[in-house]
Chain A
């Protein structure tokens, strides 16, 4: 919190005089003054004193909100807010989140980076924010198939939740972005002690399992265009971007199809002006249309997060 935050307990007369001074600085007849007259403004920026001056009604409202939140109990306050937060961390009570915070390190994940190798010990767990990680399972030799996708809704390193130290799949970054990571040792301690963290991760474990089941059913029963549409939508939802960087090999491995079939399915979606692509980048052009082109599994998987 900035020290420049206006003091709510400042004398009413002095605050009012400062507000009047700041209001006088607004351009004569400008849109700002009109909005002030219409009662649509909460605060004025006071350039002379480098401060923000709140209107009394707005200040009262903020104070009442703060009181209401305190009365509701500190434990019920969400730790993080906003669309960029990781859902698991955001669902924790504030006190628990604040205890975890010193152990969390913000990191930028690069496209293609391998976070965990299949069978190797887990050194860090990752709470994703706007990055997307693909879970790849080895089939034969060095060939892999994507068997899971993690985004802001979950955590990478779920083996530790089940008491296993090694990763069951290779975790590779599919869409670059940010995440919060925690050393595995610290995570084990926190997980053992923190019931809300256990509850959230068991809930996510259920979501991950249900998602994998739905995806398996989807692959065996729907057309390739539908699968491709669903996959693109799921990645876009997690990365918050319409541009997706994928290779044909990845798509072929994930959707269990030949590369030629993938090319054909992508061309069909492009001919319907739902996507465009060039040199490894696929862009969603018409999202609504792509949703209509995907199967019902997309909606089913996305609603699982509300569990």
Chain B
């Protein structure tokens, strides 16, 4: 309910855009931990309030990972706004992550 973004005439255009992300990890494995840290840093810098991040531990819920077509972990999916985008690996390549999220690396 709280993620609903009803538009009103008084709202400035575009502010309701929320980037919805889902990060699949394998418990506390090294690349998974690194991916969480890298993504949190990117979100804090570029998407401070305009994002929703769900971290899914595939070791806890392997069936969900399979139902959602995950091949490897760590794996990041941008669900919204369209188009859906995917980045795999520990997200150390900041530029690649930003491009997948639809953000320009040189614009804060």
Contact = CB atoms under 8 A, between A and B. Distances in A.
User: In the complex, which range does the number of interface residues on chain B fall in?
Assistant: 35 or more
Given A26-B71, A43-B73, A239-B2, A61 B62 contact: no
Given A43-B26, A239-B2, A278-B10, A32 B60 contact: no
Decide if the interface of chain B is mainly helix, strand, loop or mixed. Answer: loop
A215 to B, nearest CB: 23
Contacts of B16: 283
Interface string A276-303: 1111010111011000000000000000
A304 interface: no
B77 interface: no
A74 interface: no
A2 interface: yes
B88 A31 contact: yes
Contacts of B28: 61-62, 65
A176 interface: yes
Given A42-B32, A61-B29, A62-B27, A51 B62 contact: yes
Given A40-B31, A40-B74, 5 more contacts: A43-B72, A52-B65, A177-B2, A270-B10, A278-B6
Interface of A: 1-2, 4-6, 25-27, 31-32, 35-36, 38-45, 47, 50-52, 54, 57-59, 61-62, 65, 175-177, 239-243, 270, 273, 276-279, 281, 283-285, 287-288
Interface of B: 1-6, 8, 10-12, 15-16, 25-32, 48-49, 58-63, 65-66, 70-74, 86-90, 92
| Smallest CB-CB A-B distances: 4 pairs | A40-B89, A42-B29, A278-B8, A241-B2
